Structures are given as C-alpha cells and as structure tokens.
Amino acid sequence: MSEDSSISEETNTPTTSVSQDTSTAETTAITTSAFNIHPETPSSSSSFNTHLAIQSLSSILTTVSPSLLSQDQDPAFYLLHNPDISSQVSSLLRLPDSGAGDNNLCRWFYDTFQSSEPQLQLVVLRFLPVIAGLYLSRVALKKPLAGFEAVLLAIYAHETTSRAGQAVTVNVPDLSYPSIYHESRRPAKDNDAADLNLAVISPSLEPHGTVRSTRRARIVGVALELYYSKISLMPVGSKIDFCEFCKVWSGQEGHELQDDEDNVEFQDNQGNADKESVITEGRIALPWELLQPVSRILGHCLLGPTRDEELIGSASAACRSLYSRSLHDINPHAILATRSLLRLSKMALDPKNNVDHTEIPMSDVISL
C-alpha cells in the first residue's frame, strides 16, 4: 500500500499546514491563529478559552443555546454532555466531505485540543470514536482526510509529550514466589527476591508529523489509549458510537456469530460458505496495536460502573463481530481477546450477576 497523506504539524507555531490524501495533490493550510488568543490574566485563562471555543463552535453549528455563555454551570461540561450539540456535531462529521483539510469543524477540534485546557480536550475526545471510525473506514476510499489526520496527530503529539518517550508498563507478579496471598512449593532462600516481570502495555512513542500507512494504526491506537484513560468521564452516547464503529471495522456486520459461543468454533470449522466474511465498506485491518485499546474500551463498556442496557447490548454485538472477524483471520491474539470479551458480555447480560457483592447481607445466623 502506498504511503498516504502527510501532515506537517508544529505545535508551537500558530499555523499548521495540512496536506490531503495521496490521491490528490491538493494542500490546504489550517490556520490556528484565529483562536489562539491568550488573555493577560492567567487566572481567567481557562474561562476565556472555553467561551472562545463556544463562540467558534456556534458559528459552525446551526443552533446553539444563547444562554450557554451566561449560564452558571461549566460551559465545557455542557458541551460534553448536551445531546443536541452532540447530535449536530456527529451529523456534520458524517458528511461525505467532513474529513477535508479545509473543514471548519476539524479546524475547531484541532484548535480546541491545542488549547491545552483539560475540560476542552475532553470535549474533543468525546467525538474521537466518530473521528477515528470515519477516518479508518474512509482511508481505502482515497478521500481527502487531512482534517481528521490533523486532529489525530494533535492527540498523538500530546501523548508523546506526556509520556516523555517512556513505554507504559505493568509489573506482573511472579507466582513461583510466595506472597501474603498464597504459598509456593519453591523453598524460600535468604536474599532471594523475585525479579521484576515487566509487561509492556504500550511501547514508547516516537514523534510523527505525518500519517503514513505503516504508522496509521499506531497513531489511532494511541489516541484510543488516551480515550480509554478518560473513558469514565465520557457520556454513554460516545461509547455507543465506538461500539457501532467496531462492528463496521470488523466487516462482519450482519454476519456476526450467535450468542452460543460453545458452538461457534464447530460451525466455523465446517467451511460453511454462508459464514464467509463479506468485505463491506468500512472493513479495516485490525493489527494488535489497534485491537488492544479497542478490547480495553469494550471491556469497560461491558463491566464499567455505567450499567446502561443499550451500551451493554451494543458492546456485546461489537464483541461478536470482532470475534467472528478474528476467527476468519485466524489471529491467535485477537481470538483470545475477543473470546474473553464474549464471555464477559455473557456475564454482564446474565441477571444472576447483577449483584452488589459489597452489600452486607442481613441474617440472624452468625457464622464462625
């Protein structure tokens, strides 16, 4: 696959040049200086940037409540959770030419995220499932996507700076050594300390100013990792959008497996022609660097504190589609992850598991 579009990104300069996909030679400059105005009073910087972002967004959307700027509640919180604004923004993003470099909404997303205001960055992340979903689905169509790429690169650059070039790791305990929770058959020796078993959750990041075919999955995956780190603050509608795009990415929509996973492998091994995947529009490659954050987000949607039936149902359907796709691709990592998600989805939908185990049962019997 040939290399795709390039985006020249300079986070410390007021102007960012965004080039289109390789299918076109058109280059469009996205100028960020229009909204990068900083007030002289540091204490009012956050409020100033928030009101400025709302004013800019009001010129893009058809209707925005006039009382938004004057209301007592946090305007950024209003932008994050207001269903009317979310509906308008999602509709504009789904237009055929929404990802172009001269798109005003993409410019607003880029400028808003570059403002470095945490609350405004949450607003941008709220729409990341739609941005990433449309971007990955349209890459094969050779459409101009420089606007989407600018937003994704801004998020990737933010994470690169935040991590300071370090990988995200977790220490996996060595169960061959005894602990306060278990015993071990291995005899303990003096000064015999367990070695650290570090598992890499996310490798170290390298700065990228362009999106190429070889690094596209990594850039989008890092953006989804940031989304996952803030997922507890995201509204349910954003998570449902993500689940819907997972089904589109799998290319198995309408051909997903049934709920009875015990018979899944048997049916798939029969070579039934009806089970063959149909390459539909939106189907993408699913490397592990992209599928790993996808699995973590779906796991939260299934078992997170928000027990929303529509969200759990949508996440379960996404798991079935991804599992069917992983069986078709014969991808061991993907099969293990998605099958585990299927089992979690069954647990989440089983009424027997809707029990609060932290609640102390009331009983007259004392157990010794």
pLDDT in tens, 280-306: 568 899 999 999 999 999 999 998 888
pLDDT at position 148 is 96
Q: pLDDT tens-digit profile of 117-145?
A: 899 999 999 999 999 999 999 998 888 89
* Angstrom distances, CA of residue 63 to CA of 59, 89, 103, 119, 125: 9, 11, 18, 22, 22
If one compares 101 and 4, the residue with the highest pLDDT of the two is: 101
Distance CA 204, CA 199 (A): 13
pLDDT at position 16 is 40
pLDDT at position 250 is 92
**Listed residue (171, 172, 90, 169) closest to 133, CA to CA:** 90
Q: Give Cβ neighbours of residue 244 (< 8 Å, ≥ 6 apart).
A: 133, 314, 318
Tokens encoding 2:
């040939």
Sign for the pseudo-dihedral over CA of 95, 96, 101, 103: negative
**Helices within the chain (DSSP H only):** 45-58, 75-81, 83-93, 104-114, 118-126, 128-138, 146-163, 216-229, 236-250, 264-269, 288-303, 309-329, 332-349
Distance CA 20, CA 351 (A): 50
pLDDT band at 321 (very low <50, low <70, confident <90, very high): very high
Q: Is the pLDDT of residue 225 over 70?
A: yes
**Listed residue (361, 276, 359) closest to 325, CA to CA:** 276
Distance CA 154, CA 167 (A): 19
